[in-house]
Structure formats: C-alpha cells, structure tokens
Amino acid sequence: MVYNYDADIKEVVGRTYANLYQGTLTYTYDGKDIFVNQDKPILVEVGSYTDEILVTMNYPAEKAITLQKQVQNSDISIIPLPVHIPLGESLAAFRIGAPTETLLKSFYITWYKTGDDLENPYYSPLRLTEI
C-alpha cells in the first residue's frame, strides 16, 4: 500500500491498494477446471523421477479424458503417458523424469486433452505446467 502524506496538515490524504490497479489481466474460461499439481511448479531432480504428481478435478469426471503433453525439451519423460482420467474419477497420477544431461532451467508442459467435445468443450483448457 502507498500513502500520500501531507506534511503541512500532518494527515494522510490518499492511499492506493494493490488490488485496485492490477498489472495483469485474468480470464475465466467456460467449463470445468482440471488442475495439474494444484497449478504449482514441479521440481524435477535431473537423473531421477518425481514422486507422483496429481491431476485433480473438484468433481467426478463426466467424460473420460486423456491428457497428452508437449515439452520444450523432448528428453523429459512422463509416465504413464498418456495420462487418463476415467469416467467418474476425480484424479489421476503421473511422474516426470529428466536425464542427467538436462539443463538446469525451467521448462513448461503444454497439455492437450482428448475426449472432450471440440465445438462445446465441457472442460476448460489446462494451464501450462512449470517444471
């Protein structure tokens, strides 16, 4: 918060709040959300696989969904791939692995889903996953 203080009258004459002037825009997609790792970045130790990472929904799936990935580094692997969320389930799990030669930097996974209606999608597009 930033204050404007008038030293002559010794009074705060104005204030700003961070939520009044947001520097970013937000957009709400139509459809139900699917979350990968609760939308948090994933830490992958090179030369190993992560523990299970969850893909979650706030409700049971009303359509069976299959998730495919695209990563900037093709050496990064996901098992199992594709990731399946069966009808009636609300979560699935996978692991990410990276060989020891992988550069120590951030990568992003772009997710593609199949099993949803293309013209009137039931589920929102998945957000990028940072690893």
pLDDT of 24-56, one tens digit each?
556 666 678 899 999 999 999 989 999 999 999
**Higher local confidence (pLDDT), 19 or 41:** 41
Q: Where are the domains of the chain?
A: 31-130
Q: How confident is the model at residue 10 (pLDDT cuts 50, 70, 90)?
A: confident
81 DSSP assignment:
S
* Average confidence score pLDDT of the chain: 84
pTM value? Answer: 0.73
| Residue 15 pLDDT | 62
What does the pLDDT look like over 65-83, one tens digit per residue?
999 998 878 888 999 999 9
Is domain 31-130 in CATH 2.60.40.10, yes or no? yes
Please name the residues in contact with 52: beta carbons below 8 A apart, sequence gap of 6 or more: 93, 94, 95
